[in-house]
């Protein structure tokens, strides 16, 4: 990237925008009866800190993700593609809050969506 190009992280508002995105996103996710059970016994302060790192790194921010690999974190959680779809719909609805343009919206969704295969338990039938 040359010095005239700004990262996606910077274009959407940097640390403040990403923190707001993560907070509002998890507010939505935790209100979803299909997703909330996955978070009942999770220390939310730690999860939100890791998600701030994850989102920041995924959007080319100046933060390095220090968490475990996504597939290891979600191993044994029995997540189906239906549940991941719910999760990603909440992401799309939340992205609108930080007012990115259409290209930025698609870039955010694509970068976070890259981890989909690592999250889904492929041994389960899809319960759509």
Residue 127 lies in a domain: no
- Check which CATH number belongs to the domain holding 52 and give it: 1.10.490.10
* Structural domain total, the chain: 1
| Burial class of residue 31, CB neighbours in 10 A (0-12, 13-18, 19+) | exposed
What percentage of the chain exceeds 90 in pLDDT? 76
- For residue 114, the model assigns a pLDDT of 87
Residue 92 lies in a domain: yes
Asked whether 28 and 34 are in contact (CB, 8 A), the reply is no
Which domain range does residue 48 map to? 9-119
**Structure confidence by residue, pLDDT tens digits, 3-34:** 468 999 999 999 999 999 999 999 999 999 99
- Say which residue, 125 or 128, is predicted with more confidence: 125
Residue 63 lies in a domain: yes
Mean pLDDT of all residues belonging to the chain:
90
Residue 2 lies in a domain: no
């Amino acid at each position: 990237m040359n010095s005239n190009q700004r990262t996606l992280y910077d274009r959407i508002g940097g640390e403040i925008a990403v923190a707001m995105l993560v907070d509002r996103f998890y507010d939505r996710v935790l209100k979803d009866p299909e997703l909330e059970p996955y978070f009942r016994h999770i220390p939310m302060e730690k999860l939100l800190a890791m998600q701030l790192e994850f989102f920041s790194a995924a959007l080319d921010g100046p933060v390095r993700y220090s968490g475990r690999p996504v597939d290891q974190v979600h191993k044994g959680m029995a997540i189906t593609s239906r549940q991941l779809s719910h999760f990603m719909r909440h992401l799309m609805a939340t992205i609108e809050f930080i007012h990115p343009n259409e290209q930025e919206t698609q870039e955010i969704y694509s970068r976070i969506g890259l981890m989909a295969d690592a999250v889904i338990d492929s041994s389960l039938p899809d319960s759509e």
